[in-house]
Structure formats: structure tokens, C-alpha cells
Structure 1
Amino acid sequence: MPTALEELARPVLIGRSSSHFTRITRIFAAEMRIDYSFRVVRDLMSSDPEDYGGNPALRIPALQTSRGAWFGALNVCRELWRRSSPRPRVVWPEDLDEPLLANAQELVLQAMATEVSLIMAGLAGTGDGNAHHAKMRKALTNMMSWLEENARPVLAALPPHRDLSFLEVTLFCLVTHLEFRGVLPTASYSELNGFCQQFATRASCSGTAYRFDT
């Protein structure tokens, strides 16, 4: 167990190894070469903000640091980048100033959120059989179809002189998570799978594989 001084010296990431939003931050931490402690949220049905690092939205991930807590994957990734030295060249969402790239980032994040809603509905026993659930599943398949059709031009349009982009990390985490959780078959998405196979060669990906915490 880390001591209190060690906990203060390095950030504490709060999340789950089976969460795609958490994996985004773990990939960033590896890419930024940031050491951290990992605290697992055991019960996703908990309504206690303290279980989520103080996040009142009751969501993961969160990052606790000596400066305070950071809620959400993007906030956490930005703080990890600020802590890195030297700071890699990262393409952030605000750098995507063309409709194709901006829409791709929006749809990736929307698809991730929709997938979470479908999973949580299943856990709560309120899944199939209602119009809202059907709409969410249709929206997810629509978004994945759009991403598949546009994957090649989107990736080609990213700034070439980059070490990493938030879009690539989130896209990789989304596609691989759909298969991991069995939410949506991905075998037909050849462009997206090709991208994932290439991106998965990074050490940051092999070291953060999805698994259920025990």
C-alpha cells in the first residue's frame, strides 16, 4: 500500500479497468509517462460522490492531485499532459476546426456515452422493450456507420506532426470496448478495425487492456 506521502506525490486515478472512459486516461498516463495510483470504483450503482473521487455527477474517471480533483476523461488527460516533461505534441478537441474532424470527435464521445447508457440500462433491468432503448441502439449503430464510412478521411486529416490525438485514443477505446462488452458486433467495421489493430501496437494500449476488476 502507498504511504500518505506517496499518495500526495503522485495522482490517484479513480475508475474501472473495464471502462472505456477510464482507459482513455490510462493510455494518456502511459503516453505521458506519469506514475499514478489506481483506485477502483467497485459499485457503479453507488450514489455516494466520494466513491467517484468527489464527482457529483457520480461518474468515472476522476483524478485526485495535490491541486485538487479533476472530473471526466478530457479534464484528466489535460492534467496528465500538463504534468509530463517534455510535453508530447497532442491534438486536442479544440484543435479540430474542420467539420469532418469536429463531428468525428463529437460522435465518438456521443457513442461512448450512449454505450454506457445501454449497459447501465441492462444492469438496472430496464433494457430492451421500450422506445427510448430502441432509439439509443439505433443512434449507436448510426454513429458507428458514420465513423466507419469516414474513418479514412478523418484520420488522414489529422495534423501529421503529432505524437497523439484525443480523437484517436477515444476512437480506439470506443471500438474495442463495444466488442469487449458485447454491446455491438464490430466485425463489419473494416476501416475502424484496421485503425484499432495499428493503434494497438502502442505500449500504452497493450498495458491497459480491458478487464473486469476483481
Structure 2
Amino acid sequence: MPATSEELARPVIIGRSSSHFTRVTRIFAAEMRVDYSLRVVRDLMSPTAEDYGGNPALKIPSLQTPQGVWFGSLNVCRELWRRSSPRPRVVWPEDLDQPLLANAQELVLQAMSTEVSLIMGKAAGTSDSSTHHTKMRQALVNMMSWLEENARPILAALPPRDLSYLEVTLFCLVTHLEFRDVLPTAPYSALNEFRQQFATRASASETPFRFDT
């Protein structure tokens, strides 16, 4: 459903409060001090692109603006940054020019996507014993172990910033794993230390995970 003219007076994030990719954009909006409204996608099994803001990939989030629609969390975050004034110093994925940092961003995003696949597979009734499910879960465990082992060096190597896309996505990933009961995070002490520190930001406390009613 297209946004009304009243809604388009401010950006509309199309997503879900229980989605980690959506929360990434909501944290950015809070950090950028950009006012927005949230339009909830009620049915993630919908095959209709219009339900996702016109995204042909049938994925969330999207950002609807008078200029057009932005698909995907990174595109949305960039547009929110462009709308902010003054613009904070943000470290974007292309700024990560060391293997450690670039690989960290890649694995965080891969872990987020893998988690979504596991959740959607469970909702669709896919067997936990299937070969594909077993491989995805092992991949998720492997990625989380790598991120735990390298968490402190990663954070220490980030350039000076007010915010980084890597930190926001990492926070949303670690927090979401517990929220959706996909993988226990208690064994990941370094990642939990980071999560607790990032959670003190107003943008994090303003955007808790919850199931939309």
C-alpha cells in the first residue's frame, strides 16, 4: 500500500519492530535525529512487492520518501544520514579497508541473513534435521565464534567516528539472537560486553525488539 501524502511529510520505514535489519535503520534514524513513521509489514510470507514498499526482493526494510523508495538497510541508513543536520561522522562498510574489519562486516551481515533463513525455515515447518538447516546453523555458530574471538581487535581498529554501520549491525545481531531464541549468546563474553555498552545509547533504548500487534 503506498504512503499517504500526510505520511510522506516524513520518511516512512517499512519493516517490523521484531526485525534486526529494520532495527538497524531505526537506530540510525534516532542517531541522525530524523523523524519517521513505521509501517509494519504484517505478513512476511506475502508474495506481493507492494507490501514491502515495492521491493521486488520481498524483503524488509524499505524507506519511502517523496523522492522515491530505498530498498535495504544500508541504502536506508545512507539516506537517513543524508537527511540529518549536522551529519555525524559515520564509518560505512566501504571505509573498512583492513581484512579484519571488512571480514567482520561481511560476517555480521551473513549471520543476520542466516538467522533470518533459520527463523523463516522454522515458520515454514522445515525440519531441524535437514542437511540445509544443519549447515546453516553450523555456519551461524562458526561466524559467531569468529566474531567473539575478534570482537575486541575489531572495535579497537575502527576509525574515529560517532557511529559505524558495523557496530549497529553487530549490536542488532547479538541482541536479536537472544530475542528470537535462535542461539544462546551467554558464551560470547566479548560480544556481550560490547552489546551492554552499545545498549546505553539512547538510540538503542528507544528501539527495543518487540512483536508488532
TM-score by length of 2: 0.97
**C-alpha deviation, 1:8, in angstroms:** 2.4
1:17-28 → structure 2 map (5 Å cutoff):
17-28=17-28
Secondary structure of the structure 1 residue equivalent to 2:44:
coil
Residue identity in the other structure for 2:195 = C
1:130-169 → structure 2 map (5 Å cutoff):
130-160=130-160, 162-169=161-168
CA distance in 2, matches of 1:93, 1:33: 21
Identify the residue that residue 187 of structure 2 maps to in structure 1: 188
C-alpha RMSD of the superposition: 0.9
Identify the residue that residue 13 of structure 2 maps to in structure 1: 13
**Structure 1 residue runs of 4 or more that deviate by more than 4 Å after TM superposition:** none
Q: How many residues align?
A: 211
CA distance in 2, matches of 1:4, 1:128: 42
Q: Deviations over 1:104-131 (max 9, x none)?
A: 0000000000000000000000131211
CA distance in 2, matches of 1:196, 1:4: 37
CA distance in 2, matches of 1:127, 1:22: 27
CA distance in 2, matches of 1:38, 1:131: 37
Q: Which runs of 5+ in 2 are unaligned?
A: none
Identify the residue that residue 69 of structure 1 maps to in structure 2: 69
Alignment of 1:177 onto 2:199? no
**C-alpha deviation, 1:163, in angstroms:** 0.4
User: In 2, are the aligned partners of 1:12 and 1:64 still within 8 Å (CA)?
Assistant: yes
Residue identity in the other structure for 2:203 = S
CA distance in 2, matches of 1:95, 1:127: 40
Secondary structure of the structure 2 residue equivalent to 1:17:
coil
Identify the residue that residue 57 of structure 1 maps to in structure 2: 57
TM-score by length of 1: 0.97
Q: Which runs of 5+ in 1 are unaligned?
A: none
User: In 2, are the aligned partners of 1:118 and 1:127 still within 8 Å (CA)?
Assistant: no
User: In 2, are the aligned partners of 1:63 and 1:69 still within 8 Å (CA)?
Assistant: yes
